[in-house]
Amino acid sequence: MDKIKKINRYALGQIDKYCEAVYTGSKPCALFTIQKRYVKEVIEFINNFRFKKKKLLIYKEKARFGWVTIYIYLRPFLLEVIKNSPEHPETVYEHWVLGKLFGYSDEAIEEYLKHGQSNYCIIDEEVKNG
């Protein structure tokens, strides 16, 4: 009996949607975090993505406690952007860069900055502090 657990079909379906979004150009980059034991299976899945005309690129980053962050992208120059992106953005610029990397419009980024998850409005705070 095979004791190796495979990643569930729902998770693979989500990864498939990330691949499709990047492949079609809806998002320049997508990321997700998986348990380390699934990395080989997921990379094989991405490398065998159903659309074959363009090859999806993969970047892995060690996360905490046995988890790995996987980035999927098409354009080679994005690797430098990925590697230099802030883990915890604080400034408008950092939020904008991450928003663009993951396919958000300027309007969506601005809306997030005005009403995002922080306790204060990033845009208003930067205007006050000049």
Distances (CA, A) of 78 to 49, 72, 81, 90, 129: 20, 10, 5, 21, 32
Q: Are residues 2 and 50 in the same domain?
A: yes
pLDDT in tens, 11-65: 999 999 999 999 999 999 999 999 999 999 999 999 988 887 889 999 999 988 9
pTM for this entry: 0.82
Q: Are residues 40 and 95 in the same domain?
A: no
Q: Are residues 8 and 66 in the same domain?
A: yes
C-alpha 37/C-alpha 72 separation (Å) is 18
Give the structural domain span for 37. 1-78
Domain end point (choices 46, 62, 78): 78
